[in-house]
Structure 1
Amino acid sequence: MSSQKPTLFTCLSPALLHLYDLKGAVVVIIDVFRATSTIAYALNNGAKCVIPVDSVPKAVALSKNVNGIAAGERDGKIAEGLEHGNSPLEYHPEFIKDRTLVLTTTNGTRLLQMALDNQAETIITGSFPNLGAVCDFLIKENKNVVLGCAGWKDRYNLEDTLFAGAVINRIKEYFTIHCDSSLTAENMYLQQQDDLIGFAPKLTHYHRLVERFGLIEDIRFCLTENAANVLPLYKEGLLIRG
């Protein structure tokens, strides 16, 4: 058995995903504000599964077929034609237990589709609320890893990079990491780890969500480590508890 460690890379934007070899790798979809935090919270609170889709019409049609909840956002607000958005705190146990959430978002669900198209072997979703579960899984799998940051419409964003840094900081001894974006992510996380919520107002997406929509409690939840510590694992079109 080879003692060589698997590799870990951090992809800072969906626009860069084509530069990474996803075959045989575990890809972690990271969309901290808010898709992957919402997915973790819904599954943690008893959702049967989450079905990620790339368009609002698809979400509406599919939710009718499976008697599920069609939800999602475009540009941070509830998408037209949907009753429920991308706020994790909406999906409390009384509402979501034993139900299927059909979710479409600006960045996260799109990146997941791209990972599939690029032949990723295993896909999970990660955010601060399920940091521990993600790290445990990556160590156990012992496969090459690509941390995929959803960013904002292909642009770089800090909150996804901070989460990638948090993962790297906890698991780096198990991986070979020769990757400047991973080094950047970990250094950024180490600088801010003691007060992520205090750092948040500097982030552009914070302003999008808080100043326009007042979603400060969403932001607090999305930056709280292990508040919904489940592993969303992608299997045959569904995100289920892994």
Structure 2
Amino acid sequence: MKIWSAEQEKGAWDANVRGGIKGVLIAAGITIPGSLALHRFSPTYRNLPLPAKAFAAVVIAVPTIVVNAETAGVDYERSLWSGTGKRELDRKAQADIDKWDAMGSGAKFRDWAKRNQWSMVGGGWAGSMIIAGAILARNPYLTFPQKLVQARVWAQASTVATLILTGILAGTASKENKPMEEEDHSWRDILEDEEREAKARKAEADASQKVAVKV
């Protein structure tokens, strides 16, 4: 486990904060114009109570902020890698790009669904809540708490369906990619790189020693 210095910890925190601020700006750029447009053109949205409108904004804003903050933190952590570790990460990233380019459209979608399974589930839940809320808002016989409960039930049903769908897609992607997967030799590559670096340093030190002896 790598121990970070105080400076690196501060850098990681600053990166997360910058990512969070970026997420806030993106969320504001989506929710504020979207809310204004819906308020102007949609009577259904205009008649929604303020808590429902605020909830819709939170559903969009929170994931946006969290994802951007986490991504910024991961990018900062990767920037600290150097030497053999960085070269291995670069090799793996290039291998992933080559593998992605070799896939067909269907395989790419299934692979994307496998890697973003929980994002799809969360997005499906949020979208279901918003759509269900907009539909139920037209019912004058239900109170707001009743509408909220029914919207949650619809969203839960949608979440279960999304889980099943993404599970099927992830399983299909795993079966398709299994024949293409090779044994992980990254540890061997790292050892070979370190051995080459050690030999290069030794050769450089021997050369410097010979020059010093001649002088």
Give me the TM-score of the superposition, normalised by structure 1. Answer: 0.24
* Higher RCO structure, 1 or 2 (CA under 8 Å, sep 6+): 1
Larger Rg: 2
Higher helix share: 2
Higher strand share: 1
